[in-house]
Amino acid sequence: MSAEIKLEGQEKLLALLAVLGRLDPVKAGIRAAGLYVKGKLAQYPQAKRLTRAEVYGETFRTAKQRRAFFAKLKSGEIEVPYHRGESPSSHRFKARWARAAENGGVTAVVGNNATYGRLLMDPQLQSVYANRVGWRTTDAVVDEERAEVLRIISDAIDGALEG
C-alpha cells in the first residue's frame, strides 16, 4: 500500500530545478555579459591628436630610432598620418575582438589578437602614447563595468526563476 501526494505545479518545479542544475540561466547570463564587455572593450577613445614630442618630450630618442622611422615611412610600411583601418599596418583593432566560452560555459573570455593590441590596452604593457591618447586598459574597462556585468547575470538568473 502506498500513498502519493502531489504538489500543484510539481512538474514545473522539477523542470526548473533541472534547468538550474545545468546552470543554464547562469551560462546565458555569462554569455550576455561577455557580449556586453566585448562591446565596451571595442570602443575607441575619442579622437585626440598628440605628437610624439608632446607625449615624450622629444620626437626621437636616438638617431637609430629616427632612421628606422624614416626607412619604414619610405618603404610604405607605415603611413603618416595614420588612417585607422586603412593604413598598411592597421589590423582593424576594433573588428578583432572575439568572445569565447570556457569551463562548460561558466567562464567568458574576451580577447583581441591584433599584434599591437597589448600596447593599446594591456595593463602592464600599455604604451605611454596610448595612455595619453585615452585608451583604457582592459582591467579598467572590466572594473568600470563590473556592476553592470553582475546585473546582467543576475537578471538572467531571476528571469529563469520567474519563468
18/73: higher pLDDT: 73
Is 88 part of a structural domain of the chain?
yes
d(CA 130, CA 120): 5
Other residues' Cβ atoms within 10 Å of the Cβ of residue 28: 18
Mean pLDDT of the chain: 85
pLDDT band at 50 (very low <50, low <70, confident <90, very high): confident
Domain span at residue 40? Answer: 21-162
pLDDT digits (tens, 9 = 90+) for 5-42: 556 766 776 676 676 677 888 899 999 999 999 999 99
Question: Which residues, in sequence order, are CB contacts of 161 under 8 Å at separation 6+?
Answer: 16, 20, 25
Other residues' Cβ atoms within 10 Å of the Cβ of residue 132: 13
Domains held by the chain: number: 1
Is 64 part of a structural domain of the chain?
yes
Is 15 part of a structural domain of the chain?
no
pLDDT at residue 67, as a whole number: 93
pLDDT at residue 4, as a whole number: 60
Global model pTM greater than 0.85: no
pLDDT digits (tens, 9 = 90+) for 105-116: 989 999 999 988
8 A C-beta contact, residue 114 and residue 92: yes
Nine-digit cell string for 136: 583604457
The CA dihedral of 150, 152, 158, 161, to the nearest 10 degrees, is -110
Is 102 part of a structural domain of the chain?
yes
